[in-house]
Amino acid sequence: MTDAKQAIFAAIRKTLPAPAPAPTIAAELSQLRARINATRPDRVSGPADEVFLERVQSPGVAATAERINSFDEFPAAVMRYAVRHNLGLDIALQPHPDLATLNWSGCQTHDHIGTDETLAVGLALGGIAETGSLIFHSSQISPTLFAFLPLHHIVAIPYKNIWPWMEDYVASFAGKSPPRNVNFVTGASGTTDIEGALVRGAHGPGWLHIVVVGSPGL
C-alpha cells in the first residue's frame, strides 16, 4: 500500500508545508514539555509509597491494600486474603523467580493462568503514586493475561519501585526498547455500560489486592 501512503502524504502536503527541520520540531516540542509540570494535579505531596497506598484505596481506584515488612511475608498475606474471601488456596502464581523462591507451603500453585482462574498472585514491575496504578511489562516472567483473567488478583509491589508521577515512570524507561505490552492497572475491572451504574468484574478481575513490600524506615 505504498501508493496509499504516498497519496495520504500528498494530501497532507496540499494543506501543510513540507515538514520543518527536525531540530525546529524538537525545539518546539521541548517548549511544550517544559509546561507539563505546571499542569499535573498537585497531589503527590508526601512520600510516593504513602501516596500510592492512599490512592489505591481511594473510592476512584477502590482496590484493597496493605503493607508488609519483607517479601517473605507475602505468602502469609495471600493466605489471609484467601481466608477473608473464602477462597481455596489453589493459586495461579506468576512465573517470576522472586515469587517462586518464597515459601508457599499450605498452597497449591501453578505457573499458568486458566480462563476461569479464581485467584492469581503476581509481582508488579512498579507503580505510580499519582494515579494508584500498577505497572506490568510483558515478558517471560510476567505474562499479560495474569492481570486480566483471574477473578481475584493479589499483587506485590516493592515500595522502592513506586514513581511519584506518570512522567517519572516514562523517564525511567526512555530510550529503551518497549516490551510487547506495558499495562497500567488502576483498580479492578469495571463497567458503567448499563445505565451508567458501576459494576466491578466486567471481564478482568473483580477484586484487586495490593501488597506494598517494605518501607523507607526498614
Which residues in the 46-105 window bind another protein by CB under 8 A?
Answer: 60, 95
**Restricting to residues 7-46, which ones interact with another protein according to CB under 8 A?**
7-9, 11-16, 18-20, 22, 25, 28-29, 32-33, 35-36, 38-42
Distances (CA, A) of 3 to 6, 10, 12, 218: 5, 10, 14, 62
Task: Specify the DSSP element, H or E, that contains 76.
Answer: helix 74-84
* Number of other CB atoms surrounding residue 122 within 10 Å: 25
150 binds another protein (CB under 8 A): no
Residue 90 beta carbon to another protein: minimum distance, rounded to whole angstroms:
18
Residue 177 beta carbon to another protein: minimum distance, rounded to whole angstroms:
8
Measured from the CB atom, the residue of 8 and 76 that comes closer to another protein is 8
SS3 label, residue 216: coil
Measured from the CB atom, the residue of 57 and 186 that comes closer to another protein is 186
* Number of other CB atoms surrounding residue 172 within 10 Å: 13
Among 75, 122, 164, 204, binds another protein (CB under 8 A): 204
Task: Specify the DSSP element, H or E, that contains 152.
Answer: strand 152-158
**Restricting to residues 105-144, which ones interact with another protein according to CB under 8 A?**
115-116, 130-131, 133, 138-140, 143-144
Measured from the CB atom, the residue of 190 and 214 that comes closer to another protein is 190
Per-residue cell: 87: 477462597
* d(C-alpha 147, C-alpha 142), whole Å: 9
199 binds another protein (CB under 8 A): yes
Per-residue cell: 177: 526498547
Task: Specify the DSSP element, H or E, that contains 90.
Answer: strand 90-93
Residue 24 beta carbon to another protein: minimum distance, rounded to whole angstroms:
9
* d(C-alpha 55, C-alpha 127), whole Å: 11
Binding mask 155-194 for another protein (x = CB under 8 A): ----------xxx--xx-----xxxxxxxxxxxxxxxxxx
Among 23, 97, 196, 217, binds another protein (CB under 8 A): 196
